Structure 1
Amino acid sequence: MAHITFITGGQRSGKSRFAQKRAEENSDAPVYLATAHIWDEDFHNRVKRHQSDRGEQWTTVEEEIQISRHDLSGKTVMLDCITLWLTNIFYQNNNDVDGSLEIAKQEWEKFIDQEMELFVVSNELGMGVHPENEIARKFADLQGWMNQYIAATANEVFLMISGIPVKIK
């Protein structure tokens, strides 16, 4: 089973930087598991910035939904990020919260059944402004429930605040 370090926090809180540093300290050849679907030019630019932040020692694996289909046994893996992964699942399932949550939980369980050192990045959506529309509220609920699920399976949990990691578990 995977050894899981779960890193969550708000936007631009330093989550990815912290996860990347921890993964690089753990391995000379870490794997970056990218879950993003490129929706627009702004997001494309964000992905390019993340890519430029990583050195040549990184191997990138791109997977929008079926993270368990990749054999990452024996590797150090940085999964970035749960929020984008859930967005893909939620969109594919026509914004069905319950169905999306069940699919995400099943996929997570299959994924963490591998022996790996796993650094997982996610977002805390419920700490900001209450979403103004129904779909955004449903997604914030989905994100919160999945974060709780992942945190329960994690060996360590960190909350990033203004670039400072606060150990929760």
Structure 2
Amino acid sequence: MSTHLILPGYQNSEAEHWQSYWERSDPARFRRVEQADWDKPQLPDWVATLDRAVADADAPVVLVAHSLGCITVAHWAATARPELAAKVLGALLVAPADIDTADVPELVNFRPVPLTALPFRATVVASDDDPWCTADRARAFAEAWGATFAAVGPGGHLNTASALGDWPQGRALLAELTA
């Protein structure tokens, strides 16, 4: 059985976010990676926290990231020790934030978004109307990362405001990734 590490983005995922639904549905399998500061994220800290979570996992890992969590995965993968990257079975990267163009001072230290291939399977999921990343830019991330691209139509930032609930479509994409 694999451990699914939940990687929220900037300011964490609220109780009505699909990541929180998944975590509540199976807390033994889905574990949130708790960052020290959700409101003033620091790239080195977020990457180190992810590194520790992967190292501490007692089973193979699936990364389930949203927004800035996706960018954290890309930064971590670019510098991860090979033995830790090998523990990752795959990554579901939902609504990656284009922090290269985001006008949010707290996110500048995550620039530039790494555009190197990930050393594990991945699926980038994007909506047609995400205010944080155009579908074309999300597709470019997928291509650079060597990931499959999944367009899910209109859905905003695929977050709490999108009212996805348990998000069955996302669960299907996760099942496909880990099959």
Same fold (TM over 0.5): no
> TM-score under structure 2 normalisation?
0.43
More helix by share: 1
> TM-score under structure 1 normalisation?
0.45
